Amino acid sequence: MAPRRRPSGGLLARVNFPLYAVEMLTSRHVLVAGGGGSSKTGVANGFEIYEIYHDGSKFVAEEVIRHETGLNVVMNFAVKNDGKRSYLVAGQESHSQMYYVNPKILVEGEEGEKLPTHHSNGVTQNGKIRRRLNSEKSSGVENLQDKPKIKLANGAQSAMKKITFEIKPGDSVQTDFLPIEPLQKVVKISPNGHWMSTGGTDGFLRIWNFPQIIKHNEIAAHTKEIDDIDFSPDSKYICSIAKDGKGLVWNLLKGKLHQSLEWPTPNSAKYIFKRCRYGTIEGNKNEYRLFTITNPLGKVGKQKGFLQQWECDSGKIKIGVEINESLASLAVRDDGRFVAIGTMFSGSISIYVAFSLQRVLHIPNAHSMFVTGLAFLPVTNQEGPPISSDTEAAVLSISVDNRVCVHKLQYRQTLPAWVATIFIFAVLIVSFILCSYLGI
């Protein structure tokens, strides 16, 4: 029996169920979801929220709250933050289940201090704070400026503010209507927060008003199940890809086909789009690129997957990069500067510069199994200040190996401006002396 690979990614957290979806809930809170399904295996279903910090040398994740979903595994979800609370729409079998995620401020004080809510991994059943052990304090989280100490009215010292969340279920709506075993495969919320879109096994692309979740349009987009969808940053278009091999871009308001993604495949082989993501250009929502990953159909291991960049104006492929194996996941940072991919067989992670698709980081065997999801730590200030760190980019990855990992791109070495100026000046002087000596 071959020895089991040791994952090389930076472990942030380990969950006791397989993970299928990940997304940033706020600028510093990540939500992961998954489960063991409806079979009585003893594996839970649900999602967890972690708060992420950087202690000066590494990223640290602290569990905030866990919510179990009974017999319903969460295979996909989407979140939208309106500044006051977050909306979470979770795919559960053939339905989308709405959850309202309300933030709350807790005050951590000395042992015995009462809390306004019990949602914390550091709180006992009687509502009191559990005193942290010295080993727990050594993580560096306690000394972060993100958790300011305050003095309570009753004189308690060393208290800290902490954000937790109250999760309340809302309406559930059926989104896939295949006669046999209907299943929602993907759900997305538009950047402007006005629309929600779902896709599943029946091949229909459905557009819903949001957050009321009232059906707005239904498009017979594909002949086979939809694998992924994504809204353009300006919320005018939506891309859908499916197992029928088609990648299509739809005009959201007109409900009509806008573009079809077509490219010359190697040796005329059959390729299937796996994931699609839009990314802004320099953070401008009106200028953006479309990225896809594609895998060969059949002949597993003998053909290469591709990371692709598309021109949104013409619908033509601009850049395609070969990858040595099939691909499983794709993410684009919120400012559009970096793209990340996760592989199917080796569980590896790579980060690319978005405009050129030049690879700048590769983490082999980050997971022991295929990478089910990726999410960049945000750098814009849309939902609170981003996490300060010593890295140029950081991406979170999850897998059915139950692990949440972080992968850091360190700042690439560049010459300071003053060094470059001196170097250029020295080259000019040497060239002048050499020309004078040669009489040129």
pLDDT tens column, 91-141: 999 999 999 999 988 876 544 444 443 333 333 333 333 333 333 333 333
pLDDT tens column, 326-379: 999 999 999 999 999 999 999 999 999 999 999 999 999 999 999 999 999 999
pLDDT at 300: 58
- Burial level of 126, CB count in 10 A (0-12/13-18/19+)? exposed
Name the nearest CA neighbour of 89 among 22, 189, 17.
Answer: 189
Is a pLDDT exceeding 50 seen at residue 142?
no
pLDDT at 418: 65
Strands lying side by side in the sheet with 205-209? 184-189, 195-200, 205-209, 214-219
**Spatial distance between the Cα atoms of 240 and 415, rounded to a whole number of angstroms:** 43
pLDDT at 437: 73
**Spatial distance between the Cα atoms of 294 and 319, rounded to a whole number of angstroms:** 13
Taking every pair of Cα atoms in the chain, the longest distance, rounded to a whole number of angstroms, is: 91
For residue 423, the surrounding DSSP H or E stretch is helix 417-438
pLDDT at 100: 96
Give every CB contact of residue 23 below 8 A, 6+ residues apart in sequence. Answer: 30, 31, 77, 78, 79, 373, 375
Average pLDDT, the chain: 85
Minimum mean pLDDT among 214-218, 284-288, 289-293, 411-415: which range? 411-415
Rounded to 5 degrees, what are φ and ψ at 141? Answer: -65, -35
Ranked by mean pLDDT, the top range of 66-70, 160-164, 172-176, 376-380 is 172-176
State whether the Cα torsion 340-342-343-348 is positive or negative.
positive
pLDDT tens column, 19-74: 999 999 999 999 999 998 876 678 899 999 999 999 888 999 999 999 999 999 99
Percentage of the residues of the chain whose pLDDT score is greater than 70: 82
Note the pTM of the prediction, 2 decimals.
0.82
* Between residues 386 and 179, the one the model is more confident about: 179
pLDDT at 120: 34
Peptide bond into 191 cis (omega under 30): no
**Spatial distance between the Cα atoms of 210 and 213, rounded to a whole number of angstroms:** 5
Percentage of the residues of the chain whose pLDDT score is greater than 90: 66
